[in-house]
Structures are given as structure tokens and as C-alpha cells.
Amino acid sequence: MEHPLFLDYGPIPGWAILLVLFGVSGGFFGYQVVKASRLVLKGKPENRFDNWGARISEVLSGWLGQKKVLKDRVAGGIHVLMFWGFLMLSTDMFDLASGNQFSQKILPEVVRGPWNLMVEIGYTIAFVGCVLALIRRVVFTPEKLKGKSQLEGNVILLLIMTITTTSFVVEAGESTVSSTWEPIGAWVASTLVPSTSLVIAAYWAHMLAICVFLFLIPLSKHMHLVMAFPNVFFHDLRPMATMEPLARGENGKAVLLDELDIESFGAVNYTDFTWRDLIDGWACTSCARCQDVCPAYASGKALNPMQIIHDVRHYANDHATSIFADETPEEDIIARFGEDAIWACTTCHACVEACPIYIDHVPKLTDARRHLMMERMEFDESVEDTVMPLMATIENLESDSNPYGLPAHERGDWAEGLDVKVAEPAEYIYFAGCAASFDERNKKVARDTISIMKEAGLDVGILGMQEGCSGDAARRAGNEYLFQMLAETNLSTFEEIGVKKIVASCPHCFHTLGKEYKDYGGEDIEVMHHSQLINHLQVEGKLPQPKHDGTVTYHDPCRLGRQMGIYDEPRELINAVEGVEIVEMEHSGEDAMCCGVSSMMSCNENARSLRVTRMEEVRATGAETMLTSCPKCVSHFECLKFEGDEAYADIEILDVVSFLARQVNEQKGQLGAETTVGETAEA
């Protein structure tokens, strides 16, 4: 039969009908894509054209290979079927729209058969993916989708199913259908024996579904079909959670405070974000994976990271006229986000790690905090319970370089009696951090770390009162000026003493010193976490081989695991204790839950549900002890005891190094050794 495109329908030829359909839908699609692109390009300039090799590699694995999507075996697998199916069948759309001119006149005959098979497979797996997705939505509705409208998603699925099923009918109506290269089309031809009218109807249903799909893409979450590729290609190649300085000089480094000359801080307007920040708004798939892993959302706070990304797009569309005219809308982006949402973020970056298309949620919130903290200094009543303690922390950092407001000259008192170098050159400088310097619980961790390093024969020193806060708390809170002041002061001290290697127990200090100080002149300093160093010493045989019978579980701190990629060393250190069995919690490793603490340590009532949830996971393992490698995590979980909760009183919470030191001491005691690791701390 003649191809439906070349038939006349009354006085109107088929090609004219198709031209009108594609003209309307394609024109609308193109207009919306251009509009979105113009809105994105209103963002500040940013160089994301570096390191093409790494970017192409990530596109191949992250966009084409769908590696993050597949972390969710069920939903991810379904999505991959539809994604790869569409890639395989996409060229057939051109073929059908051209009346088979593409396959008959452009494709070489030698590849025509394999191409037909590829298209057939594409239609098939896309159809299977749609059926499974529809069943999942309607029959086995995930909890996060219950109570929400499924209309948009279901309509899109039905359109794709229409596109796939009608293709087989059209294929079956062709004069020659190869059972080798087009097995399903051949089966439909032999089983259904479609009439001419059915083939014609299927063809126009196919084309109409494509046109409706084109019309809906820019109006829905399916705009990610356009924006996901650039979002992945231009993703941030810097180490996770590394924040931008106030300004960069021509050498790429941060401009020092003495030379700094900027008029505004942070983001208050849409155009204060970079163009790459803004692409996120149109790339979001609304999969809610960020929502699922957000500790603030889980604890009932106002923050939903997915909504923040939606807000970027909706704000741009709502104020497009003003933005294009370079006018400032009356509503700023902070008002759209909501201050309560902005301050609720713990900056754990679980949302960033979970996102399958590399959206950066956290920088939008921390940039907004910079403006609120450094310029506005006016807060809604709804956030006073969160901000006022934080303001006290900032004031303490400014006056005493620690969040507790304790005298700076007491910073090294925790090391009394350890016979350690103070503010002198040493091979290793132990950066205690504020928690280990002033918090009684965490002083023990610092003493144990120093004692084990000395046990291994290392040349180790501390900075004492010359050590200042790393600035992590100030930076995450939005006071970038204070952070940079603290960073420059510490780096000056490092240079004066000749510091080359730093060991830190606090992952917050470890992350800040190791990653973020590089922008300010600390690129030549090697920074390691105490679990890394002590595990290395254990492997080299420089420490005793202790024994302990029992089960423990390990909680991965966000800064150490997700943001620094250190998962194995703490576990290897625990496994070095003979007889110990590590039982993993339900959420561990890359999937570990944030303890819920933000940049300051506090027994925040809103985060209580997170503490309880995590301790319930500990209880489910049957472990007697929960180990971790972060003083803030230890203190935050200890809040349950301070709150008088007896349900978890039998679960011991320890730092991994203190656990190791205890076993070494017990072994030495059994051997009658005169000196034990950290013995002074026990007195």
C-alpha cells in the first residue's frame, strides 16, 4: 500500500497535515526551549568548559550509562528501558515522518536490516518500560507518590505506549516485513493482518502522539529530556561540597581579604546564580530521590530539596518578563525558597549524591545564607529558634575562634601530660578542632589519637592556643568573610611553624583543611583523617594487634564518607581488632543517613526523629556499640541520653580511635605493661 503520508485526505495531502501538526507542536517546543535557554543564560558567567575528557567520560557513564539512575534497581531499571529504548527508536521517527525516505534513500542498504532490528528492540523495551512504570504507579504506588496527582506522568506513559504500539502496526502494513530484522512487525502482520484503514489510523495516531509529546515536554518535568545532557556535561568537577570563595583572582585563587572589593554577598536575586546553577531548574526529573534522603525533610522541617529546584524554574517563568528586561522582580529568590527552608539544610549533600542528573541543591541554599547572614541580618520569626543559636556561635567564633565562647588560651589544655610538641615544627601536626579542644567527651578522642601516634613512634605536635577554628561552621552558616579570616589566620600559622602534614579527627575540619583551604594557599599541605593514618600504621605493623569479642556497627559521617570518599579505612581499622564483627546498618556506606546535626552541635528537637531512626537501625543490628569517626555525630547521638531517653542507654557510642585505644590498653594491661595508650585521660 502507499505510505499514509503520501495519501490525500479529501482535498488535503497527508504531508500538509503532518507539516501543520509538526509546525504547531515543533514551533511551540522550540519557542519554550529557547525561552528556557535565555532564562538560564541570564545567570552569572561561569567557566564549565574545562577538562573535556572528564566531562565526556561522565556523560558516557552518567547520562548514557545511567549509573546513578540504576542505583534504584526497580524505578531505575524501568527508566533505563524507556531511555535506551527511545535512543534506539528515535531515528525511526524521522523515517516515518519522511514517508520512509530516510531508510530507503539515506541509509545504506547494508545497514538497513540491523537498523530495523535496533529500532524494533527500541520500541519493544520502551513499551515494556512504560507498562511496568504504569503498573508501579497505579497498582504498587510508592509512598512518595501517594496523594499526589499522577495525571501528567500517566498521560506521558500512555503517549509513549501509543507511539510504540502503533509503530508495529505501521510496520506490519509495509509490503515487505523481514521476520529476521523486524520480528514483531512480521508477527503482527501474520497475526493481526491489519487492514489499510487500520494502518493509516495507526500512522496518524503515532504522529499525533509525538506532536502532543513535543507540546507537553517543555510544560512538564520531561523538559529534562532536553536539559539533562548539558546538566551532566557541565557538572561541577570540583570535590564534593567545595564552596566558592567570595572572589577569585586571575590566578584562580581566592582574593585575600586585604585586597577584596565586592559590593554584594551571596544570592538574593535569580541572576545572582550562575547559568549552571539555573539549568538545574529545567533538568529536574521530579524523581524525589533528593527528598527521600534529605535529613531535614525526614525530620519534618520545611526544606524539600526537590522543591528548591522547582522553585528556580517556576520563579523564572513567573518573572520572565522582568528578567528579560533586566529588571529586578519585587519578589526575590529568597522569598520563593523561604527562609525556614534555607536554614534547615544540614549541608550533608545527600541530595546531591542521590541526584541522577547531577543537580547541585546545596549551593543555592548556602548562597542564599550568605546574603541573609552578611547583608540582610533580618530573619523571619519562624527561623529564630534556628538562627539565634547560630548567631551566638558566630559571635563566639569572632571573639574566641571557637563556637563555645571559651577562652582561646585554653585550647591546648586537653593535651596536658601527653609530652607533645606545642607550636613547634613536627612531621605531623594534629589539628584537634574545636570539639576535641573544648568538649569533654571529645577530648578523649584527641588524647587517644596523640597517644597512638606516639605509640607508633611518629614525630607529632599540636598548635595549642595558636590553633583556630577551621571556619567550617561559619562558612556553612553563610558568614564567608569570617570563614576566610579564620582560614587566612590558620594558614599564616601553618606557614610560620612550617606545617606540611596535618592529621584531623573531625571530618568537618578534615574536609575544610584538605579541600577548601587550597583556594587560599594551602595546596601544598597534606591533610589526612586520623582513621586513615592510624589504619596505615596498623597495616604497617607499628601498632599492637588487640583482641575483642563482640559486635559493633559503624556510622558513616557525611563529611568523611560522602564528601571525602572515605568508607573503607575506618572499617579496616575496626577489623584490625581480632574477634570484632562489624554488622552494617540498613543505611550504610554511600547510603548512610545524616545524623541530622548542622554546622553547630546542638540537641535540636527537630532532629530528634533522625537520632531515634538511626539508633533503631543500630538496635536492629544487635550490636553492642556504635562506632563513628566524627565528634559531632557522637555528640548528636549522645543527645538522646541528655534528653533522658533510656531506650538506647545500653548502646555505647564511641569514636573508632577511642575503641582501638581501649582494646590496646586492655591488651597491655593483661600483659602487665607499665604504660597504656591515653592513660592520663583515664585518670
From residue 232, how far is each of 57, 86, 277, 283, 590 by CA, in Å?
10, 19, 12, 9, 20
Please give the CATH topology (third level) of the domain spanning 544-682: Rossmann fold (3.40.50)
Evaluate if residue 255 carries a pLDDT over 80: yes
pLDDT tens column, 555-582: 999 999 999 999 999 999 999 898 999 9
Where is average pLDDT lowest: 118-132, 140-154, 271-285, 357-371? 140-154
From residue 663, how far is each of 20, 396, 581 by CA, in Å?
79, 37, 14
Burial (CB count <10 Å: 0-12, 13-18, 19+), residue 523: exposed
The CATH code for residues 4-33+52-233 is 1.20.950
3-class secondary-structure state, position 437: helix
CATH 3.30.70 fits 398-536, yes or no: no
Among candidate residues 414, 441, 657, the one with its CA nearest the CA of residue 533: 657
How confident is the model at residue 376, as a pLDDT? Answer: 87
Evaluate if residue 680 carries a pLDDT over 50: no
Segment 445-449 shows an average pLDDT of 95
Q: Quote the mean pLDDT of the chain.
A: 91
Among candidate residues 447, 629, 461, 454, the one with its CA nearest the CA of residue 537: 454
How confident is the model at residue 649, as a pLDDT? Answer: 83
pLDDT tens column, 63-84: 999 999 999 889 999 999 999 9
Cell triple for 28: 511551540
Asked, colleague to colleague, whether 257-378 and 398-536 share their fold, the answer is no
How confident is the model at residue 681, as a pLDDT? Answer: 38
pLDDT tens column, 185-205: 999 988 888 889 999 999 999
DSSP 378-419: ---GGGHHHHHHHHHHHHHHHHHSSTT---GGGTTGGGTTS-
Domain ranges in the chain are: 4-33+52-233, 257-378, 398-536, 544-682
Question: What does the alpha-carbon distance between residue 413 and residue 417 come to, in Å, rounded to a whole number?
Answer: 9
How confident is the model at residue 670, as a pLDDT? Answer: 55
3-class secondary-structure state, position 428: strand
44 beta partners:
274
CATH 1.10.1060 fits 257-378, yes or no: yes
Among candidate residues 428, 438, 504, 413, the one with its CA nearest the CA of residue 461: 428
How confident is the model at residue 682, as a pLDDT? Answer: 40
Query: What is the H or E stretch that residue 582 is in?
Result: strand 578-582
pLDDT tens column, 480-508: 999 999 999 999 999 999 999 999 999 99
